[in-house]
Amino acid sequence: MREASVNLVTVGVFSWARLEPEPGRYEFGWLDRVLDLLADNGIFADLATATASPPPWLARRNPDSLPVDREGVRLWPGARQHYCPSNKSYRAAATALVEQLATRYCDHRALAMWHVNNEYGCHVAACYCDRSAEHFRAWLRSRYASLAALNEAWGTAFWSQQYGDWDEIVPPRPAPTWRNPSQELDWHRFCSDVLLELFVMERELLERLSSGVPITTNFMRFFKPCDYWKWAEHVDFTADDLYPDPSDAATGARERASAADLMRSLKGGAPWAVMEQAPNAVNWRQRNVPKHPGLMRLGSYQSLARGADGIMFFQWRASKAGAEKFHSGMVPHTGTATRTWREVVELGTELARLDAVVGTRVSADVAFVFDWESRWALELPSKPSHDVTLMDQVAHWYRPLWERNVMVDFVHPEGDLSSYRLVIVPNLYLVTDAAAANVARFVSGGGVFVLSFFSGIVDEREHVRLGGYPAPFRELLGIVVPELWPHGDDELRHVRLGGERYACELWSDWIELEGAEAVATFEDGWLSGRPAVTRNGSAWYVGTRLDSAGMDELVGKLLAQSGVAPTLAAPAGVEAVRRDGDGRSFLFLLNHGAQEATVDIDGDYRDLLTDGERASQLTIEPFGVAVLEAMLRVR
Ligand code: GAL
């Protein structure tokens, strides 16, 4: 670890059975030795609370602690995460373990932070057992107070679903056909809240017994089951697990970039940490393609560039047994005479040169509005088109900005938009009154706003907002959409935008102008001649999914109107991101291409990785990176 300049190690994530081989009998000797050894070598510990995989004895003593899936199948021990989040014996046993760990290690020299549980919800995001049903009812009582309010919110007049007693309510278990969507939406909220309740349960213990030590857990990018806007309020900093597929490096790079932007945004721009990434291949895809030389380094720098202050890996040593034995480790099965090890050591050596970057921040002029509740609602069944999914739309809008080196943040629909010039809202199907007012305030302040199709359709109860889609934005946009025209299988239509013809897919809206102008019009079929993209001052509406070239054209117009400039006019495939702070400025250049790239830069700068002084031009090797510090004037 010293050779690789490792200075922080996650310890004990899946060690519950080792730490407590039988109920109430703890064995800490081995962990004492590990932590002492780390401390003696100047390495800190991200000490796990080990509650993510209960020991087999818990299930044997308390079979009810096992989770039950939607079909009613109990999930048994033998893998991991086999606990029902609402189960009282799981909670009691986890509490006892965390108390022991916190009491024993709160003052340990190695302790730098607490790693609570692990990837909440990764395998079991919802439990449908009777105890969970009871817990769901309690959650609903506190949300609605009365059955009458719940019946109203869930629209139970439809299909004779009216509840006369709280005990009649169950989780959305299998049913003859579509479940009540408001019930499903509340179930999503409940499941995210219940997992968060577990995190808070541990957090409160740690705060009491080990005060002052930062506490976090590892998030999973845009993981659907957990509303990380809510979760982020309870972690001291965000940490992410990143496993883009190396077999599609271009998509992987964009995914990695957007995940970083989310992690930063969840905590108002504060630095975050990569808690896990693979040194090389993973084991859990159908085909596990390795990371080619340079790719792990490039990805690591990408996260750093976009606001991370730490880069960690899963895992230190590739294991010889167990389900993850073909997952790469920093120390591979072959040992240290390997490319993986060499790349790990090189990265560690380089990172040691970048202390000045720590704590600096990234700023963005463009915000993406992103909301878990809206995503849950959008992706429930029984919709005009099942092909509309939020992450597809986010990725579709993200690409043209990423390729132009325009930095973006993510913002909650009710979050502060005042510092942005351009706000992009892909598919905000569910919108609260507060969110609609938030957007209106932004637009009246002169901001450029763009909304994509099938937005503003329902309120937080999943009730349609009447009066013409997208009702809460109708006036702002100067349009009404009386009809939705989703496409059939693979059906392409066309639009004319800026004198060019572009294909569009997935969805079209029948748009009527009420003050807005048509920026693009449909070219074929029944919608021919009707508006496809509209503009009402600085409020834009996009009633279809344009192809990539169309998106490039449209995004160009939006950037021009909002006056947003890229970080740097770099050649295609070169990502440029700036981090600033304390009067210092760092420019990260990342070459995602397989060819050398030459970047023009004005001014003098110091290359932190090579220590070279450079001016005006820099050549970056294929998949290479540069971190430049200067008071740059960029051409
Ligand atoms: C994560 C998990 C790790 C390991 C890794 C493999 O989901 O936290 O324990 O399983 O994936 O890629």
pLDDT tens-digit profile of 285-311?
999 999 999 999 999 999 999 999 999
> Ligand 1 atom 9: the closest Cα is on which residue?
314
At residue 630, the pLDDT reads: 74
312 C-alpha to ligand 1 centroid (Å):
12
pLDDT per position as a tens digit, 22-70: 999 999 999 999 999 999 999 999 999 999 999 999 999 999 999 999 9
At residue 263, the pLDDT reads: 98
Q: Which of 564, 526, 354, 340 is nearest to 450 (CA)?
A: 564
Q: Is 500 annotated as catalytic?
A: no
CATH H superfamily, domain 574-630: Golgi alpha-mannosidase II (2.60.40.1180)
Catalytic residue among 276, 350, 403, 462: 276
> Ligand 1 atom 2: the closest Cα is on which residue?
119
Number of CB atoms found within 10 A of residue 172's CB: 20
At residue 605, the pLDDT reads: 86
> Ligand 1 atom 4: the closest Cα is on which residue?
314
314 C-alpha to ligand 1 centroid (Å):
7
47 C-alpha to ligand 1 centroid (Å):
16
C-alpha distance across the termini of the chain, in Å: 42
331-336: long-range contacts (C-beta < 8 A, 24 or more apart)? 332/279, 332/280, 336/3
Mean pLDDT of the chain: 97
Largest CA distance in the chain: 76
- Residues in contact with ligand 1 by the CB-under-6-Å rule are 118-119, 122, 241, 243, 276, 278, 282, 314, 324, 327
> Ligand 1 atom 5: the closest Cα is on which residue?
314
277 C-alpha to ligand 1 centroid (Å):
9
pLDDT per position as a tens digit, 143-189: 999 999 999 999 999 999 999 999 999 999 999 999 999 999 999 99
At residue 602, the pLDDT reads: 77
At residue 631, the pLDDT reads: 57
At residue 635, the pLDDT reads: 44
> Ligand 1 atom 12: the closest Cα is on which residue?
282
What lies within 8 Å, CB to CB, of 514 at 6+ separation is 474, 478, 479, 480
- Which one of 3.30.390.50, 3.20.20.80, 3.10.580.10, 3.30.930.10 gives the CATH number of domain 8-355? 3.20.20.80
The minimum-distance atom of ligand 1 relative to the CA of 284 is 12
The minimum-distance atom of ligand 1 relative to the CA of 13 is 9
The minimum-distance atom of ligand 1 relative to the CA of 220 is 7
C-alpha to C-alpha distances, 28 to 16, 104, 203, 219, 412, nearest whole angstrom? 11, 9, 21, 28, 43
| pLDDT at 253 exceeding the cut of 80 | yes
For the ranges 439-448, 490-499, 622-631, which has the lowest average pLDDT?
622-631
| pLDDT at 282 exceeding the cut of 90 | yes
Out of 117, 324, 326, mutate this one to test ligand 1's pocket (max ligand atoms within 8 Å of CB): namely: 324
236 C-alpha to ligand 1 centroid (Å):
22
Q: Is 249 helix (H, G, I), strand (E, B) or coil?
A: helix
Q: How much of the chain exceeds pLDDT 90, in percent?
A: 96
| pLDDT at 634 exceeding the cut of 80 | no
Out of 119, 283, 289, mutate this one to test ligand 1's pocket (max ligand atoms within 8 Å of CB): namely: 119
Q: Is 276 annotated as catalytic?
A: yes
The minimum-distance atom of ligand 1 relative to the CA of 243 is 12
Q: Which of 398, 397, 448 is nearest to 420 (CA)?
A: 448
C-alpha to C-alpha distances, 176 to 257, 280, 342, 606, nearest whole angstrom? 42, 45, 57, 66
Number of CB atoms found within 10 A of residue 173's CB: 13
| pLDDT at 632 exceeding the cut of 70 | no
Domain ranges within the chain, ordered by starting residue:
8-355, 366-562, 574-630
Out of 223, 241, 289, mutate this one to test ligand 1's pocket (max ligand atoms within 8 Å of CB): namely: 241
CATH class of 366-562: alpha beta
239 C-alpha to ligand 1 centroid (Å):
14
- Check if the beta carbon of residue 523 is closer than 8 Å to that of residue 501: yes
**DSSP for residue 143:** H
Kindly state the average pLDDT of the residues 513-529: 97
617 C-alpha to ligand 1 centroid (Å):
41
Out of 13, 282, 314, mutate this one to test ligand 1's pocket (max ligand atoms within 8 Å of CB): namely: 314
243 C-alpha to ligand 1 centroid (Å):
9
Kindly state the average pLDDT of the residues 74-90: 98
pLDDT per position as a tens digit, 157-166: 999 999 999 9
> Ligand 1 atom 7: the closest Cα is on which residue?
119
Q: Which of 551, 545, 538 is nearest to 478 (CA)?
A: 538
| pLDDT at 559 exceeding the cut of 90 | yes
More confident site: 582 or 293 = 293
Out of 116, 276, 316, mutate this one to test ligand 1's pocket (max ligand atoms within 8 Å of CB): namely: 276
The minimum-distance atom of ligand 1 relative to the CA of 119 is 8
Give the integer Cα–Cα distance in Å for 627 and 78: 45
118 C-alpha to ligand 1 centroid (Å):
9
Q: Which residues are bridge partners to 113 per DSSP?
A: 46
Give the integer Cα–Cα distance in Å for 430 and 189: 14
Give the integer Cα–Cα distance in Å for 533 and 519: 5
283 C-alpha to ligand 1 centroid (Å):
10
Helix H or strand E segment including 604: strand 597-607
Give the integer Cα–Cα distance in Å for 274 and 309: 8
- Check if the beta carbon of residue 625 is closer than 8 Å to that of residue 609: yes
At residue 615, the pLDDT reads: 67
